[in-house]
Amino acid sequence: MFRNQYDTDITTWSPAGRLHQVEYAMEAVKQGSACVGLKSNTLVVIGSLKRSPHAELSSYQKKLAKIDDHIGFGIAGLASDGRVLIKNARTQAINHKYTYDTPISVQRLVLQISDKSQVSTQRSSKRPYGVGLLISGYDEQTGTHLFQTEPSGNYYEYKAIAIGARSQSARTYFEKNYQTFEEADEETLILHALRALKGTTGDNVELTSKNASISIVGKDRKYKLIEEEQLEPYLAKLEENAAATTEQQPAEQQDDVDEEMVQ
Amino acid sequence: MTTHISPQMASSGTQHGKFEPYVNNGGTTLAIPGKDFVIAAGDTRLSTGYSIHTRQSSKVFQLTDKCVIVTAGMQSDASTLHKTMHARLVHYEHAHGKQMSTEAIGQMLSNMLYGRRFFPYYTFNLVAGIDSKGQGVVYGYDAIGSYQSVEVGAMGTGQSLIQPLLDNQVAYKNHQLVPSKELDLERALSLVKDSFTSAGERDIYTGDSVEIAIITQEGIKYETLQLKQD
């Protein structure tokens, strides 16, 4: 998309009925490193590719966060904006449990976050949050859920989805395989997530226990993060099975990116 | 319907009075720290005046894997206090990536109680847990947050019956001959049970059953002791 005279203010509509500032915010999400999510009827897995601004020197940006025992977030885009939404979601979950003595339902939390995001698309004094979320969760009554939220305040529910840079290859992989997810076991789901992530790394970048992380939540399964050493056995399995899995699309090109701000 | 007796009615016989925000729901609590364990207990009778609401109401609330709080006084303030503490603990875990230490919980409770200095929680608390050094510790509180580590703590309507007994048998106060053996879990548990059966005999608000939490490095186990229902 190119600059035009209707994109300066969040509060200005273009003649085509678009809010360009909101769309630009969505671009920030596309520049962030990938986040993938998939679910079975009992478990939801989110995988993320962590970026590090200076390969050898710096740490890797955290992209997965626990919101409550039954809900997790994965972020793509401006990590600092992501932290604000994470903090807000945690408070919402705590307050709901205090008031109603029951865990907040995933959809209700997603709605609250989305409504918050929408507010900043209709105030001239604010800007949209430059972050997209993948929200995993489990409700006793309704089972597993996987949602995506956008800076616009829109949200969607998915069986499997990927967002961020080079995520199309992950989405294509999911489209080919999602029918087997419903009955899949924990290990299978995690391997699918890692395989999907592999396609998003781009040239010359390997998926390692340093730059990948997995979160899992579900029925009788409190939120758990799988990182670093704990991830090794799964990555090793990935190598073994490499020959047997469905082939992936080649990674796409992408524009220059401000690596520090966008994770 | 239970007979409601307001403080006004009970003494002067009049029907109208100011709204009284506090009520004592009765009951007794107890906590004993050991070298690498701590026991916390509370009876399960809930009363007002001369009536019993229920024989099965817990005074014990688990805060972390190695810390519990046991509260005597007004049950509504107690459960609100526990809910608020739990929310604070969850918040802490999100921010720090680990559970709050027993010592930190101890300080936090004091601050929370003092925060209500001018409309206090009508609660008499004992925080019992394993501290950062792996040793058992019990903190005793008044209603507005004054607290200290105690060798043995009892609260509630049976406090005056139990505390002196345990001062003598656990802390060995006023003994001519202090035994050299340190307190072990079996003896502590036995003293807890005897304390409640004795208090239950004389204190009308204590009885029905006792809920006992036994905390060690391995975790928290719960036991129930039946008491007389009179």
Of B83, B84, B94, the CB nearest to A90: B94
Q: Which tens digit of pLDDT belongs to each residue from A12-64?
A: 999 999 999 999 999 999 999 999 999 999 999 999 999 877 777 888 889 99
pLDDT of residue B94: 96
Cβ–Cβ contact B80 with A under 8 A:
no
- Shortest Cα–Cα distance, B113 to chain A (Å): 18
| Ordered domains of chain B (ranges, CATH) | 23-226 (3.60.20.10)
pLDDT of residue A259: 53
**Interface contact flag, A98 B91, Cβ < 8 Å:** no
pLDDT of residue A5: 87
**Interface contact flag, A94 B90, Cβ < 8 Å:** yes
Q: Which residue of B has its CA nearest to A95?
A: B87
pLDDT greater at residue B8 or residue B174: B174
User: Distances from the Cα of A193 to the Cαs of A45, A82, A124, A230, in angstroms?
Assistant: 7, 21, 39, 15
Cβ–Cβ contact A62 with B under 8 A:
no
Q: Which tens digit of pLDDT belongs to each residue from A84-136?
A: 999 999 999 999 999 999 999 999 999 999 999 999 999 999 999 999 999 99
Mutate to test the interface with A, among B79, B93, B94, B96 (most CBs of A within 10 A): B94
pLDDT at residue B102 greater than cutoff 80: yes
Q: How many alpha carbons fall within 13 Å on the CB side of residue A109? A: 34
B87 CB neighbours in chain A (<8 A) are: 94-95, 97-98
Count of CB contacts below 8 A, A vs B?
Answer: 15
SS3 content of chain B, % helix, strand, coil (to 5): 30, 30, 40
Q: Which two tokens stand for residue A108?
A: 């209700």
pLDDT at residue A158 greater than cutoff 70: yes
A260 pLDDT band (50/70/90 cuts)?
A: low
pLDDT of residue A253: 44
Show Cβ contacts of residue B164 under 8 Å, excluding neighbours closer than 6 positions: none
Rounded percentage of chain B residues whose pLDDT exceeds 90? 89
pLDDT of residue A261: 55
**Interface contact flag, A94 B84, Cβ < 8 Å:** no
**Interface contact flag, A98 B84, Cβ < 8 Å:** yes
A95 CB neighbours in chain B (<8 A) are: 87
Residue B20 burial (CB count, 10 A): 9
| Ordered domains of chain A (ranges, CATH) | 32-244 (3.60.20.10)
Q: How many alpha carbons fall within 13 Å on the CB side of residue A86? A: 25
